Amino acid sequence: MTLTVQPHRESVGLKAGQLYLDGQWGPGSGGETWTHLHPATGEAVGEFAVATASDVDAAVAAARKAFESGTWSNARAGVRIKLLHRYAGLLREHAEELRALQALDNSVPLSFSGSIYATSVEVAADVFDHHAGWVDKLGGQTLPPYQGGDHLAMTFREPIGVVAAILPWNAPFLLFAQKVAPALAAGCTVVLKPSEYCTFTVLRMVELLIEAGLPEGTLNVVTGPGDPVGEALITHPDVDKVSFTGSRGVGRRIIEASAGTLKRVSLELGGKSPALVFADAPNLGLAAATVVGAVTMGLSGQACVANTRALVQREVYDEFLAAAQGMAAAITYGDPFDPGVLASPLINPRQLERVLGYIEKGKEEGARLVTGGERLGGDLTAGNFVGPTIFADVDNDSTLAREEIFGPVLAVVPFTDEEEAVRLANDTEYGLGASVFSADAQRAFRVSRKLRAGTIGINGFQVEPHLPFGGFKQSGLGREGGESSIEAFTELKSVYLPLTDEMM
Ligand code: NAD
């Protein structure tokens, strides 16, 4: 039977996507549209407007006007807190619809978005609830006068201004929330650009925010591809801050583009995160299933923090590989609306070609292909499917071990002792995440402290709305989550006040 997502498109009532500028939905000034092709079937799912440079200008101008007017940042704290909580409630109410839209956008299966917290609608709602709590706590410090005498020295946190928030396609719920919630809590205004590969979900999330009562101009949306739409945004002189999640290459471009006006920049980029599996792992089978699951289930390895390098101690190497193969064999593909389907296709044909190219490179470089390595055929031929792929005996200096593949490809590297494990783990240009599997708590903490990565999981991994998330080295700049997000969307101001005329 040929795979089709058309009935679902009708059941969620998908309509053409528009821009949202200064409180109005509209088609954009150029009349150009982008047709989204479904990753699992190649079918046209829907169309949305491609913003022109003048639409981006209008979005930034609306955000600037709203920021200067203070309608949002100066509104009663109680009003803003309630709005953010109300929105969290709306997200929860519309969770099923949003998950269906996501399946139409990026083909992440409902089985995954309904069960894994980090990619759920619930996590987005929790992030909004969490940040609602910051609205009336953006405090500064009062310091004793350094020079003695009668004066006050204090600091204030002020909203950073107009924020350009640029999203990738892979985790729209969490990543929308990680940018929009703290930006709004801090009193900023926003111009949002979703990925061209995941637009419909984000537009619906915006509609719900409007329903929650967000004032006009506070959040504006421009849709379309990175070039020209994202480019127009990151080079815009009136944007104060770019908050970006996406690939390292675009992150570099954003740093370049920020130089002209010295924009503030936060970058959440890619990774080549290691899982360090020691012989004393409390449950080796579970460790293998966790590592392989993160590289195959749900997003098919198209997840920034997936542990795509498994460093495995020699004593348990063969046992790990056998368990890893067992897990790989259990992964199912197909219609994302089918509850039995566990993994997605790759997002587009370009990514499919890229991943197949890395698999060929791995073979050429002498790694041992243990399972997979091929595009899936049969009913799945029209989609961008690649099966779970495990390479053993991978050289940590090879392409497979060094580059972010963003596909269901696990590189397994053997190690002898703790020192070697840490050296191999840190021998990478990236530093987003890592996992340590060991029953020895002292070792697990010792190793965690030595790893040059932003988030470490010990015998498991979880995203928490109030914990900072971000990368060391080329995995990014800055942190998102909890208080670190508030810092990212505010400027610190020092105020000095003499209390007598003598101090002037
Ligand atoms: P991408 O860099 O291709 O695109 C991300 C966004 O940037 C999209 O909205 C795109 O349209 C836009 N863009 C592209 N070129 C641009 C330009 N010149 N100027 C401005 N905007 C531009 O990334 P992707 O394929 O959507 O996502 C995958 C990447 O994101 C991976 O590298 C992954 O590791 C990373 N990622 C990181 C995190 C994290 O939290 N660290 C989370 C998810 C994804």
Question: Which residues in the chain land under pLDDT 70?
Answer: 1, 503-504
pLDDT of 193:
98
* Closest atom of ligand 1 relative to the 169 alpha carbon: 26
pLDDT recorded at residue 1? 63
Q: Same CATH fold, 274-452 and 9-270+475-492?
A: no
For the chain, the farthest-separated pair of C-alpha atoms sits apart, in whole angstroms, at 87
Q: The CATH number of 274-452 is which of 3.50.50.60, 1.10.10.60, 3.30.342.10, 3.40.309.10?
A: 3.40.309.10
Whole-number Å distance between alpha carbons of 486 and 93: 27
The pLDDT score that the predictor gives to residue 426 is 98
For the residues of 160-172, what is the DSSP string, one character each? --EEEEE--SS-H
- CB of 106 closer than 6 angstroms to any ligand 1 atom: no
Of the options 3.40.1370.10, 3.40.50.300, 3.40.50.1360, 3.40.605.10, the CATH number for the domain spanning 9-270+475-492: 3.40.605.10
Specify the pTM: 0.98
pLDDT of residue 2: 83
Query: Which tokens is 226 given?
Result: 């990175």
What is the reported pLDDT for 462?
87
**Residue 325: both structure tokens together:** 């193969």
For the Cβ of 476 lying below 6 angstroms from any atom of ligand 1, the answer is yes
User: How far is Cα 368 from Cα 349, in angstroms, rounded to an integer?
Assistant: 26
DSSP state of 254: H
In short, whether 232's Cβ falls inside 6 Å of ligand 1 is no
Rounded Cα distance, 108 and 282, in Å: 31
Domain chopping of the chain, boundaries: 9-270+475-492, 274-452
DSSP 51: P
Per-state percent for the chain, helix, strand, coil, to nearest 5: 40, 20, 40
Contact between 49 and 32 (Cβ < 8 Å): yes
Q: How far is the CA of 419 from the centre of ligand 1 (A)?
A: 34
Backbone angles phi, psi at 450, to 5 degrees: -85, -15
Is 122 among the catalytic positions? no
Q: Write down the pLDDT at residue 288.
A: 98
| 234 touches ligand 1 (CB under 6 Å) | yes
For 180-192, how does the pLDDT look when each residue is reduced to its tens digit (9 = 90+)? 999 999 999 999 9
* Beta-sheet pairing, 264-268 with 241-245: parallel
pLDDT at 147: 87
